[in-house]
Structure 1
Amino acid sequence: MTPTRHLLEIDDLSPGELVRILDLCETPTAPDSAVSGELAGRSVGLYFEKPSLRTRHSSEAAVTRLGGHAVTFTNAEVGIGTREPAADIAQVLSGFHAALGARVFDHQILEDMAAASSIPIVNLLSDLGHPCQALADLRTMRSELGDLAGRTVCWVGDYNNVARSLSIGAAMCGMQVRIASPVGYGPTGVDVDRLRAAGHDTAPFVTTHAAEAAEGADAVHTDVWASMGQEEESEARRRAFEGFQVDDRVMAAAASTAIFMHCLPAHRGEEVSASVADGPQSRMFAQAHNRMHAMIGLFRWLVEIEAIQ
């Protein structure tokens, strides 16, 4: 029997599979119109340990546009790891749903679910990666820039879960990766190895100067300095990330046609200046809208390869 396909990390996909998902991210002709009926008569479970705006709405909307029904639930209802093991919950829900998405603090919960599940488990965000955000980011860049092979993407800030998935996905699409992070917040040796395994032809360019990393880039990305769950570190991070704001100076170092991207929520005046976030190069709201189209493409691909039957 063919093993169940899961998407826990963006490099669970082959480069060809990643491109196919991007090809399947169709845009409806109207905001609430259906795309197709691949999930007709099926339900998808969506589990959230963390509060969510874009991930919940985009995932539920994608399931609806494919003719399915989303069932959203939180840890208060199930008590994963306390009331019941993640593996047991995954086995139970495998009998109800066509797929299960989960947004968790600890990536190990996803691994435990995937080991026990007979339906696809999709990482909606963990401490290690955010592959669905990467799909939306790549779709946005492809829509704006065309073929991504040979293009350059820049990341400014903490090399966190979002940065990791984006960088690996970009390398899989043939992009060059440039990274600016404070000392202690950049990619590890393991991260560099993963980028090279994903197809990056050299070690990524890593610096502690934002404008230097942005030089010649086609897209400049950033994220908040303190993510959810890091609130106690916020003041220390604010000091560490001083000088890492994406402002007009940083964007001026990028290509003249460069776009600015942010996975949101954005803190204007911290990781990005208001002039950039709300300026003509910003694509952060198109990027947010592409979260739904990315989920449409992912679910359609899972049906196409018969991971959802």
Structure 2
Amino acid sequence: MSRDLLTLRDLDAAQLREILDLSTRADLGRPLAGKGAALFFQKPSARTRNSMEMAVVQLGGHPVYIQKDEVGIGTRETVEDVAHTFACYHALIAGRVMDHQVLDEMAAAVDTPVLNMLSDSDHPLQGLADLLTIQQLLGTLEGAKVAYIGDANNVARSLAEGCAKLGAELRIASPEGYGFPAAEADALGIVQTADPAEAVKGARIVYTDVWVSMGQDDEAAARQKALAPYQVNAALIAKADDAFFLHCLPARRGEEVTADVIDGARSAIWRQAENRMHTARGAMAWMMGGT
């Protein structure tokens, strides 16, 4: 039975653990043998394209990279027609989109499984890679203390949802206006604070992301001013508990993180980046009915 994977909140704890387990296995077979995977990119990405293409190949399939101008989704053709077109040729559809609704509409239109490679609200593939990395570094997710510093964005949301389901404790430090709505934070059991030092106290994992993401260039000055006190540097890391550093990349050294931290001995960013491939493989195997 094939399944969509659009957000981590759609999964229960057992399903999340199953995907993480599949991500560590080398014996997944070839569920995509002789089949295509449509990889639709409205937003470019080095890690997402490379990790997804290699994961499809490792499952025996053929990845087809599709740029937004080749499709004209919502202008030349409706979302539903694009989804039906992809489904004519491919066993799996994956989208990296500006608006999450595009993925919802694709999933509603076709029976072919649809995977979210990133949307404005969620980044489940990054969340899976983060969870696997934390599990590898600490030996368990249960009781892991994780601090996220900065804007509560799509990456933070998927991380928070995964932590909540698998028993990790997440604290987020953000300036006013950059955190999660109180109701969402409460539902996920997130501790929110405006003080980065409070967030990292006792943390084994310290995580951050860029202050200005793709498509936010008009907000750059305001974001940099608001988030400047939230830089992850040696002084902040020293307040944590012998913490590992994570970043979803790309990074801007000297802005959200200093070079000595991201390039330091406790940085696990390259393991985290490699895990994007492993968890993409595990996610797609699960979507295709793997166990």
* Contact persistence 2:206–2:237 (CA under 8 A): yes
2:284 is the alignment partner of 1:299: yes
* Contact persistence 1:101–1:121 (CA under 8 A): yes
Displacement of 1:26 after TM fit?
2.8
Q: CA RMSD in A?
A: 1.5
Partner in structure 1 of residue 90 of structure 2: 97
Displacement of 1:190 after TM fit?
3.9
Distance in 2 (alpha carbons) for counterparts of 1:35 and 1:89: 30
Distance in 2 (alpha carbons) for counterparts of 1:116 and 1:68: 23
Consecutive unaligned residues in structure 1, runs of 5 or more: 29-33, 196-202
Partner in structure 2 of residue 205 of structure 1: 191
| CA separation of 1:292 and 1:190: change in aligned 2, threshold 3 A | same
Partner in structure 2 of residue 82 of structure 1: 75
Partner in structure 2 of residue 223 of structure 1: 209
1:69-148 to 2 correspondences below 5 Å: 69-148=62-141
* Contact persistence 2:20–2:128 (CA under 8 A): yes
Distance in 2 (alpha carbons) for counterparts of 1:220 and 1:85: 42
- Show CA shifts across 1:223-251 (max 9, x none): 00000000111111110011100111111
Distance in 2 (alpha carbons) for counterparts of 1:58 and 1:14: 25
Partner in structure 2 of residue 158 of structure 1: 151
One-letter identity of the residue aligned with 2:191 = F
Partner in structure 1 of residue 15 of structure 2: 17
* Contact persistence 2:22–2:28 (CA under 8 A): no
2:245 is the alignment partner of 1:260: yes
- Show CA shifts across 1:50-89 (max 9, x none): 1110001000000001111101101100100000011111
- Show CA shifts across 1:84-138 (max 9, x none): 0111111222221111000001111111111102111111000000000000000
Distance in 1 (alpha carbons) for counterparts of 2:190 and 2:42: 33
2:217 is the alignment partner of 1:249: no
Higher relative contact order, structure no. (Cα contacts within 8 Å, ≥ 6 residues apart): 2
Deviation >3 Å, runs of 4+: none
Distance in 1 (alpha carbons) for counterparts of 2:195 and 2:31: 46
SS at match of 1:101: strand
One-letter identity of the residue aligned with 2:59 = L
Distance in 2 (alpha carbons) for counterparts of 1:191 and 1:252: 30
Consecutive unaligned residues in structure 2, runs of 5 or more: none
* Contact persistence 1:6–1:120 (CA under 8 A): yes
One-letter identity of the residue aligned with 1:89 = V
Within the candidate set 38, 47, 55, 1:45 is matched to 38
* Contact persistence 2:33–2:59 (CA under 8 A): yes
Percent identity at matched positions?
48
Within the candidate set 241, 262, 282, 1:277 is matched to 262
One-letter identity of the residue aligned with 1:251 = I
SS at match of 1:60: helix
| CA separation of 1:190 and 1:111: change in aligned 2, threshold 3 A | farther
* Contact persistence 1:26–1:296 (CA under 8 A): no
Partner in structure 2 of residue 199 of structure 1: none
Distance in 1 (alpha carbons) for counterparts of 2:152 and 2:74: 28
* Contact persistence 1:78–1:84 (CA under 8 A): yes
SS at match of 2:229: coil
Within the candidate set 45, 49, 56, 1:56 is matched to 49
Distance in 2 (alpha carbons) for counterparts of 1:288 and 1:173: 21
| CA separation of 1:91 and 1:79: change in aligned 2, threshold 3 A | same
